[in-house]
Structure 1
Amino acid sequence: PKRAHGLAYHRPLLLNSRQGRKALLDWFDGVSTARNMPWRKAWINQATVADGDDAHNRRQQLERRAYEVWISEIMLQQTRVAAVIDYWNRWMERWPTIQDLAKAEPDEVLSAWRGLGYYSRATRIHEAAKIVCGDADMRGLLPSSVDELVAKVPGVGRYTAGAISAIVFGRAAPMVDGNVLRVLSRQLGLFGDVKADKAVIDVLWAAADHLVKAIARDIPGDDEDKIPNIEEEEEQPSDRPGRWGQALMELGSTVCIPKPNCAACPVTSSCRAYSEGHQLAIKKGLAPKPTTPQDAATDIEDACTLCKPFEEFADDDEDTQNSNTVEVSKQQKSKSRTQTTLQSFYFTQTSSTTTTTTTKSKRTAKSEPGGLSPAAFDAIANHARKFPLKVAKKAVREQETLVCAIRRSSDGRYLIHRRPEKGLLAGLWELPSYILTEPQSSTAKTRKRDAEQYVKDLVDAKGLGGVKYVSDLGSVPWLFSHLKLTMHVHVFELDDRKGGGGGVESGEDGEGARSRWRDVKAIDDESMGTGMRKCWALVK
Structure 2
Amino acid sequence: MPWRKAWVDPQTISDPAELRKTLEIRAYEVWISEIMLQQTRVAVVIDYWGRWMAKWPTIHDLAAAKPEDVLSAWSGLGYYSRATRIHEAAKLAVGDPDMKGLLPSSARDLDAKIPGVGRYTAGAISCIVFGRAEPMVDGNVLRVLSRQLGIYGNIKTGKAVIDAIWAAADAMVKATSELDGPNGETSREPNDRPGRWGQALMELGSTICTPNPNCSQCPITSTCRVYMEGELKASKSKETLKTMADIEDAACILCEPFDDGAGGSDDDSTQVKNRTNKAEVRQSKQATLAAFAFTRRPAKDATSSSSPSATSGAPSKATMDIITSHARRFPVKVIKKAVREEETLVCAIRRSDGHYLIHRRPLKGLLAGLWEFPSQLLGPSAKPDKGKREQLATAYVSSLMNGGKEGRKKTTKISCGGELGSVPWLFSHIKLTMHVFLFEVGEDAEVAEDEEQPRRWVASGEVDAESMGTGMRKCWKMVQDAVEES
CA distance in 1, matches of 2:181, 2:233: 38
The 1:366–1:221 alpha-carbon spacing in structure 2 relative to 1, beyond 3 Å, is farther
Choose the corresponding residue for 1:271, options 200, 206, 224.
224
Deviations 1:176-225 (A, max 9, x none): 000000001000000000010101010000000000001011549998xx
CA distance in 1, matches of 2:431, 2:453: 30
TM-score (norm 1): 0.80
Deviations 1:19-42 (A, max 9, x none): xxxxxxxxxxxxxxxxxx010100
Matched position secondary structure for 2:246: coil
The 1:465–1:295 alpha-carbon spacing in structure 2 relative to 1, beyond 3 Å, is closer
Partner of 1:97: 58
The 1:154–1:78 alpha-carbon spacing in structure 2 relative to 1, beyond 3 Å, is same
Structure 2 contact 425–431 (Cα < 8 Å) conserved: yes
Choose the corresponding residue for 2:449, options 495, 505, 508.
505
Choose the corresponding residue for 1:116, options 64, 77, 87.
77
After superposition, where does 1:95-494 map in structure 2 within 5 Å?
Answer: 95-217=56-178, 219=180, 235-283=188-236, 297=246, 303-311=251-259, 315-318=262-265, 320-322=267-269, 324-329=271-276, 335-337=281-283, 339-343=284-288, 345-346=289-290, 361-363=295-297, 370-409=313-352, 411-462=353-404, 463=410, 465-494=412-441
RMSD: 2.8
CA distance in 2, matches of 1:203, 1:513: 45
Unpaired segments ≥5 residues, structure 1: 1-36, 348-356
Deviation at 1:436, TM superposition (A): 1.0
Structure 2 contact 264–329 (Cα < 8 Å) conserved: no
The number of residues matched between the two structures is 465
Structure 2 contact 402–446 (Cα < 8 Å) conserved: no
Structure 2 contact 179–189 (Cα < 8 Å) conserved: no
Matched position secondary structure for 2:425: strand
Structure 2 contact 403–447 (Cα < 8 Å) conserved: no
Deviations 1:301-338 (A, max 9, x none): x61121111117x72154645365322146x566323x
Identity value in percent:
56
Structure 2 contact 253–279 (Cα < 8 Å) conserved: no
CA distance in 1, matches of 2:215, 2:110: 36
Structure 2 contact 416–439 (Cα < 8 Å) conserved: yes
Matched position secondary structure for 1:40: coil
Deviation at 1:89, TM superposition (A): 0.7
Opposite residue 281 of structure 2, the aligned amino acid is: K
Unpaired segments ≥5 residues, structure 2: 303-308, 405-409, 481-486
Structure 2 contact 420–478 (Cα < 8 Å) conserved: yes
TM-score (norm 2): 0.89
CA distance in 1, matches of 2:286, 2:96: 38
The 1:138–1:474 alpha-carbon spacing in structure 2 relative to 1, beyond 3 Å, is same
CA distance in 1, matches of 2:245, 2:262: 25
